[in-house]
Amino acid sequence: MRKSFSSPLASVFVIAVTVLWTIPTFGLLATSLRPKQDVTDSGWWEVFAHPQLILSNYHTVLFEGGFGVSGGLMPYLVNSLAISIPATVFPLVIAAMAAYALAWVRFKGSDTVFFVIFALQVVPLQMALIPLLQLFSGGAHLGGVTVLPSLDLHGTYAPVWLAHTMFALPLATFLLHNFISQLPRDLMEAAVVDGASHFKIFRSIVLPLCTPALASFAIFEFLWVWNDLLVALTFAGGTPEVAPMTVRLAQLSGSFGGRWELLTAGAFLSLIVPLIVFFGLQRYFVRGLLAGSVKG
Amino acid sequence: MSGHEPVALPVSSMLADSAWTDATVKLGNSFGAIAGFLGILLVVFFAAGRARGRLGRPLAILVFLGPAVLLLIVGLVAPLIRTVYLSFYNDDSTRFLGGRNYGWALTTGSIHQVLLNTLLWLLVAPLAATGLGLVLALLVDRMKRQAVYKSLIFMPMAVSLVGASIIWKFVYEARDTSQHQIGLLSQLAISLGWSHPPNWMLSHPLNNFLLMAVMIWVQTGFAMVVLSAAIKAIPDEVTEAARLDGARGVQLFWYVTVPMIRTTLVVVLTTVMITTLKAFDIVRTMTGGNFGTQVLANEMYSQSFVQFNVGRGSALAVILFLAVLPLVAYNIVQLRKERETR
Contact assessment for residue A26 and residue B158, using Cβ atoms and an 8 Å cutoff: no
Backbone torsion region of residue A184, taken as left when φ is above 0, otherwise alpha when ψ lies between -120 and 50, otherwise beta: beta
Q: Shortest CA distance to B71 belongs to which of A109, A95, A149?
A: A95
Question: Among all residues of chain A, which has the CA nearest to that of B57?
Answer: A105
Mean pLDDT (whole number) for B221-231:
91
Give the confidence band of A50 by pLDDT, cuts at 50, 70, 90: confident
Give the confidence band of A66 by pLDDT, cuts at 50, 70, 90: low
User: Can you list the pairs that A48-53 forms with residues at least 24 positions away whose Cβ atoms lie under 8 Å?
Assistant: none
Q: Cβ contact (<8 Å) for B305 and A233?
A: yes
Backbone torsion region of residue A237, taken as left when φ is above 0, otherwise alpha when ψ lies between -120 and 50, otherwise beta: left
Q: Cβ contact (<8 Å) for A14 and B78?
A: no
Question: Among all residues of chain A, which has the CA nearest to that of B217?
Answer: A21
Give the confidence band of B342 by pLDDT, cuts at 50, 70, 90: very low
Q: Cβ contact (<8 Å) for A85 and B34?
A: yes
Q: Say how many CA atoms lie within 13 Å of B18 toward its Cβ.
A: 15
CA–CA distance, B158 with A218 (Å, rounded to integer): 14
Contact assessment for residue B216 and residue A21, using Cβ atoms and an 8 Å cutoff: no
CA–CA distance, A266 with A252 (Å, rounded to integer): 10
Q: Nearest Cβ partner of A43 from B181, B249, B250?
A: B181
Per-residue pLDDT reduced to its tens digit, A186-213: 999 899 888 888 999 999 999 999 998 8
Angle at B120 between CA B115 and CA B126, to 5 degrees: 125
B192 touches chain A (CB under 8 A): no
Work out the number of other CB atoms within 10 angstroms of the CB of residue A202. Answer: 23
What lies within 8 Å, CB to CB, of B127 at 6+ separation is B269
pLDDT at site B109:
84
pLDDT at site A195:
84
Contact assessment for residue A150 and residue A138, using Cβ atoms and an 8 Å cutoff: yes
| Minimum distance, in Å, between the CA of residue B15 and any CA atom of chain A | 6
Between the two ends of chain A, the Cα-to-Cα distance in Å is 39
| Distances, alpha carbon A153 to alpha carbons A52, A133, A141, B53, B324, in Å | 47, 11, 18, 40, 32
For chain A, what is the largest distance between any 2 Cα atoms, rounded to a whole number of angstroms? 76
Q: Cβ contact (<8 Å) for B226 and A131?
A: no
Give the confidence band of B113 by pLDDT, cuts at 50, 70, 90: very high
B100 touches chain A (CB under 8 A): no
pLDDT at site B339:
60
Q: Nearest Cβ partner of B71 from A94, A121, A270?
A: A94
Contact assessment for residue A74 and residue A63, using Cβ atoms and an 8 Å cutoff: yes
Chain A residues touching residue B67 (CB < 8 angstroms): 94, 97-98
Q: Cβ contact (<8 Å) for A97 and B63?
A: yes
SS3 B89: strand
pLDDT at B9 over 50: no
Q: Nearest Cβ partner of B168 from A24, A107, A250?
A: A24
Work out the number of other CB atoms within 10 angstroms of the CB of residue B74. Answer: 18
Exposure string of B27-39, with b = 16+ CB inside 10 Å and e = fewer, is: eeebeebbeebee
Strand partners, A145: A142
pLDDT at site A42:
87
Backbone angles phi, psi at A147, to 5 degrees: -80, -40
- Write out chain A in H/E/C secondary structure: CHHHHCCHHHHHHHHHHHHHHHHHHHHHHHHHCCCHHHHHHCCHHHHHCCCCCCCHHHHHHHHHECCCCECCCHHHHHHHHHHHHHHHHHHHHHHHHHHHHHHHCCCCCHHHHHHHHHHHHHCCCHHHHHHHHHHHHHCEEECCEEEECCCCCCCCCHHHHHHHHHHHHHHHHHHHHHHHCCCCHHHHHHHHHCCCCHHHHHHHHHHHHCHHHHHHHHHHHHHHHHHCCHHHHHHHCCCCCCCCHHHHHHHHHHCCCCCHHHHHHHHHHHHHHHHHHHHHCHHHHHHHHHHHCCCC
Contact assessment for residue A182 and residue A145, using Cβ atoms and an 8 Å cutoff: no
B293 touches chain A (CB under 8 A): no
Best of A199, A248, A278 to mutate (most B CBs within 10 Å, chain B): A199
Contact assessment for residue B326 and residue B273, using Cβ atoms and an 8 Å cutoff: no
pLDDT at B42 over 70: yes
pLDDT at B6 over 70: no
Least confident of B49-53, B220-224, B236-240: B49-53
pLDDT at A256 over 70: no
pLDDT at site B128:
98
Q: Nearest Cβ partner of B64 from A40, A59, A101?
A: A101
User: pTM of the prediction?
Assistant: 0.91
Strand partners, A148: A140
Contact assessment for residue B195 and residue B220, using Cβ atoms and an 8 Å cutoff: no
pLDDT at B117 over 60: yes
Higher-pLDDT residue of B256, B30: B30
Backbone angles phi, psi at A118, to 5 degrees: -55, -45
Higher-pLDDT residue of B140, A17: A17
pLDDT at site A293:
64
pLDDT at B263 over 70: yes
Per-residue pLDDT reduced to its tens digit, A136-158: 887 777 666 777 777 777 788 99
Give the confidence band of A68 by pLDDT, cuts at 50, 70, 90: low
Contact assessment for residue B149 and residue A232, using Cβ atoms and an 8 Å cutoff: no
Per-residue pLDDT reduced to its tens digit, A8-29: 888 999 999 999 999 999 999 9
Indicate the average pLDDT of chain A.
Answer: 87
Mean pLDDT (whole number) for B132-148:
89
Give the confidence band of A1 by pLDDT, cuts at 50, 70, 90: very low
| Minimum distance, in Å, between the CA of residue A208 and any CA atom of chain B | 16
Work out the number of other CB atoms within 10 angstroms of the CB of residue B338. Answer: 13
pLDDT at A4 over 50: no
Task: Identify residue B219 by its one-letter amino acid code.
Answer: Q
Q: Nearest Cβ partner of A282 from B56, B151, B165?
A: B151
pLDDT at B8 over 60: no
What lies within 8 Å, CB to CB, of B129 at 6+ separation is B215, B216, B219, B220, B222, B223, B272
Q: Cβ contact (<8 Å) for B68 and A100?
A: no
Indicate the average pLDDT of chain B.
Answer: 89
DSSP annotation of B155 = G
Please report the sign of the dihedral spanned by the C-alpha atoms of residue B105, residue B110, residue B114, residue B115. Answer: positive
pLDDT at site A25:
96
pLDDT at B3 over 70: no
pLDDT at site B162:
96
pLDDT at site B80:
95
Contact assessment for residue B180 and residue A40, using Cβ atoms and an 8 Å cutoff: no
